Amino acid sequence: MNRDTSDTPPPAISIRSYGTDGHAHAHDFAQLVLPLAGSLEIDLEGQGARLDRTQAAYVPPGMRHAQESRLPNRFLVVDLPAVDADILALDKLAARRFVTITPAAAHLIDYMGAALEGGAPARNMALWTPLLLDALAEAPPRPVSRLAALLAAMGSEHVLGWTVADLAAQAKLSSSRLHAVFREELGTTPHTWLAERRLEQVLRWLATTELPIAEIALRAGFSDQSALTRAVRKACGMTPAAYRRQAAGA
């Protein structure tokens, strides 16, 4: 259906990073949360998901939601103005909320993000939004994850001592097949995923406990405090002590 869009304001497009201070909120416009780098955990009125390079979120108007991440991340966020309800792409996205990112959508997200970071006006990027909506809406529903049971059972602290072989045994897959499934579903390797979970737990301990940093390194399986410091600096751009001070608001 052709629509008169002359009175419709353009989408507001920005690049945002999320931390651990997310709080539940709602707004009177729809929003797309599209990954550029890293990941975050998001909750849409009780429906939770991990957004990464394989999955985005559509937040309908008025829906309370909250998000957080303990690792560096960058997201392209598109605030959509009030539009006619007969737009098919939005109907499809509203029905799913969590959307598989197709290769076509990924290329558009990367292009829009790079253009914004390069200084392109947001209003210029808004011209690409209808194409992006169509690319996201055409994505088939995400199949049931072969890793769902494994990931649900694996809290960050639970996996500190685990190896890739342990993950494979838990998932009832060979190590080579586990590697392929991680690549297909999460866009990463089991080894990298374990390292991220270990670092998430380290950051949680730094933010919520007074454990000595050397003890945190030992508990998390790092060879020594220096190895932990290198990992935290690489991920967060600061030392463990500086991260602890920042988390405490000092």
Q: Which pLDDT value is given to residue 65?
A: 92
- Please count the structural domains in the chain: 2
Mean pLDDT of the chain: 82
What is the domain extent for residue 16? 12-137
Q: Domain boundary residue among 137, 164, 179?
A: 137
Burial 165-183 (b: 16+ CB within 10 A, else e): eebbebbebeeeebbebbe
Residue 62 lies in a domain: yes
Task: Please check whether residues 87 and 178 belong to one and the same domain.
Answer: no
Q: Which pLDDT value is given to residue 158?
A: 59
Residue 5 lies in a domain: no
Q: Which pLDDT value is given to residue 84?
A: 43
Residue 56, strand partner residues: 99
Task: Please check whether residues 186 and 97 belong to one and the same domain.
Answer: no
Q: Domain boundary residue among 97, 115, 137?
A: 137
Residue 2 lies in a domain: no
Contact call for residues 156 and 162 (beta carbons, < 8 A): no
Residue 4 lies in a domain: no
Q: Which pLDDT value is given to residue 114?
A: 84
Task: Please check whether residues 16 and 127 belong to one and the same domain.
Answer: yes
The list of the chain residues with pLDDT below 70 reads 1-10, 82-88, 139-145, 148-149, 151-159, 250
